Chain A
Amino acid sequence: MTTTLYTSDHEWLAIDGDVATVGITDYAQSQLGDVVFVELPKVGRALKKAEAAAVVESVKAASDVYAPISGEVLETNAELASEPALVNSDAQGKAWFFKMKIADKSELGGLMDEAAYKAHTA
């Protein structure tokens, strides 16, 4: 059973036990436009909450993706390197960015559920 949470910076996290899968929201991709490049963190990197973890680039601009919580990077989505446009076509599915080990579950308390995120982007 996974729970999906959201940040005010438009990242989503699917929580499964002590592992979080992180990506950017469909709203975020619609604002960015056509994604042409994604830079992902190295596996094993210890991310601190709110630090720049990944970069997503459209034709026009580069945007940082922040670590929504603290934890170690376990795996990254290699498909995004060859097909960055997946971020536009399936932001909250196939275009996940990285999986991380949740260092401190209490950090999840500050995140939004789907209803709160919908209100945030309304």
Chain B
Amino acid sequence: MLARDDQHSLKKTPLHGLHLSLGGKMVPFAGYGMPVQYPAGVLKEHLHTRNSAGLFDVSHMGQIALRPKSGRIEDAARALERLVPQDILAIAPGRQRYAQFTNTDGGILDDLMVANFGDHLFLVVNAACKDADEAHLRANLSDTCIIDSLADRALIALQGPKAEAALAKLCADAPAMKFMDAGPHEVAGLACFVSRSGYTGEDGFEISVPAADAERLAKTLLDNPDVMPIGLGARDSLRLEAGLCLYGHDIDTATTPVEAALEWSVQKSRRSGGARAGGFPGAEKILAHFDNGASRRRVGLRAEGRAPVREGALLFAGSEGGDPIGKVTSGGFGPSLNAPVAMGYVPTAQSALGTKLFAEVRGQRLPLQVAAMPFVKNTYKR
């Protein structure tokens, strides 16, 4: 249990009081007190999100506006391309793209979402990295951009097959949005930023709302019997089943986007031979990984038995002896699959689908197979 002082030093999101009133079990996460689960529990919350709709408080995440001093959005886009291997110039107004801040070794400093809001870029970054990300932006982009930390906004994710109908009652624009559309929209009369995206593999939305109005909006959404509050526990099992990386676990400063199997997120324009090839931190190493392959790769893993294989478990080629060939970076039980699921890094030679491996759990070697991700088919509205 946490000492009282630790509890008090934790930051609170604008929905803190609501979490307590809903019976949320609060835990420290990235410096915030966050609900790991509500009385329904992780399993029911997970399944409810897949079958109906779940509401997540993700206000601990960082929201940053990148405003071009020139007033020309392409100047902000070009500036941000100095820090990420993505094609930012090609993000159309009202669209969003997944990106990574890289370091000079080609590793990943953080992963983020970048949206084009017409006159500025809107970034959503991980809670644990947000101060460092903001400092990184200020140090590198202050010549061309105003870096505006939007600390007075909450962020609410609404995910699941009934998310569209639930949001449509408050936001007439919502049904027409497609996966990765993003922009300012009124929700319940409030000036919000809405994107059709999330971290569960389900169709859904993320809604940035002024902090002062966040509780009212969350309560209005929760008044809908289809919508249940969901804690961090189910958020993790949902994203794991969706094959999505958790920063600091599946990706970090020692993994390149190619090793992390995130090639799809690096557009051709930034790769060797592209119109704006390179020009981001660690480009030499990352482009070499694109051109020549990397020696290891992030893969999905399915166990043959029912024992969950968790983060840190060592991977072996055989049922006994030999040195470890890799490590599990995320793992647990997938409630929708009713089976254990994991992801980890293995030598590229052993990364083909169906490759049989073993994970060491409590001194025993459990058989696993390299499996396709997502483990649960995503339902994005394309």
| A33-B41 contact, Cβ under 8 Å, with A59-B46, A59-B335 | yes
A62:B310 contact, CB within 8 angstroms: yes
Closest residue of A by beta carbon distance from B308: A57
Q: Judge whether B362 and A59 touch: CB under 8 Å.
A: no
Assembled-state Cα–Cα distance A60/B219 (Å): 27
Q: Are A37 and B307 in contact (CB under 8 A)?
A: yes
- Contact yes or no, A33 B308, CB < 8 A: no
Question: What 1/0 flags go to B219-234 for Cβ under 8 Å of A?
Answer: 0000000000000011
Interface residues on A, range: 10 to 19
Interface residues of A in 29-75 (CB under 8 A from B): 33-34, 36-37, 39, 55, 57-62
| A58-B332 Cα distance, complex, nearest whole Å | 9
Q: A57-B307, A58-B42, A59-B46 are in contact. Are A36 and B333 (CB under 8 A)?
A: yes
Q: Is there contact, CB below 8 Å, between B308 and A62? A: yes
Give the chain A neighbours of B333 by CB distance below 8 A: 36-37, 57-59
CB distance from A120 to the nearest CB of B (A): 14
> In the complex, what residues of B have CB within 8 A of residue A33's CB?
37, 41-43, 233
Distance in Å from the Cβ of A35 to the closest Cβ of chain B? 9
Q: Beyond A33-B233, A57-B307, A59-B332, is A39–B362 a contact (Cβ under 8 Å)? A: yes
- Kindly state the separation between the CA atoms of A36 and B37 in the bound complex, as whole angstroms: 16
Report which of B36, B41, B236 forms a contact with A34, defined as CB distance below 8 A. B41
CA distance in complex: A61, B335 (Å): 14
B237 at the interface (CB under 8 A from A): yes
Residue from B44, B233, B308, B340 whose CB has the most chain A CB atoms within 10 Å = B308
Report if A37-B233 is in contact (Cβ < 8 Å); known contacts: A59-B43, A60-B42, A60-B332.
no
CA distance A84 to B340 in the complex (A): 14
Q: Which residue of chain A lies nearest to B234 when distances are taken between CB atoms in the complex?
A: A59
Q: Which of B41, B233, B362 contacts A55 (CB 8 A)?
A: B362
CB neighbors of B among A96-117 (8 A)? none
By beta carbon, the residue of chain A nearest B335 is A59
Whether A34 pairs with B308 at a CB distance below 8 angstroms is no
A62 to B43, CA, bound (A): 15
List of A residues within 8 angstroms of B310 by Cβ: 61-62
Whether the Cβ atoms of A34 and B362 lie closer than 8 Å is no
Is A36 a contact of B308 with CB atoms below 8 Å? yes
B249 at the interface (CB under 8 A from A): no
Complex contacts, A57 vs chain B, CB 8 Å: 307-308, 333
The answer to whether B307 touches A60 (Cβ under 8 A) is no
- Cα–Cα distance between A59 and B237 once the two chains are bound (Å): 8
In the complex, chain A residues whose CB is within 8 Å of the CB of B41: 33-34
B240 to chain A, nearest CB (A): 10
Closest to A36 in B: B333
Which chain B residues have a beta carbon within 8 Å of chain A's beta carbons? Answer: 36-37, 41-44, 46, 233-234, 236-237, 306-308, 310, 332-333, 335, 340, 362
The 8 A-B pairs with the shortest beta carbon distances in the complex, nearest first, are A34-B43, A36-B333, A59-B42, A59-B333, A60-B233, A33-B41, A34-B41, A37-B306
Q: Sample 28 A-B pairs with CB under 8 A, ordered by A number.
A: A33-B37, A33-B41, A33-B233, A34-B42, A34-B43, A34-B335, A36-B43, A36-B306, A36-B333, A36-B335, A37-B307, A37-B340, A39-B307, A39-B362, A57-B308, A58-B333, A59-B42, A59-B43, A59-B46, A59-B233, A59-B237, A59-B335, A60-B36, A60-B233, A60-B236, A60-B237, A62-B310, A81-B306
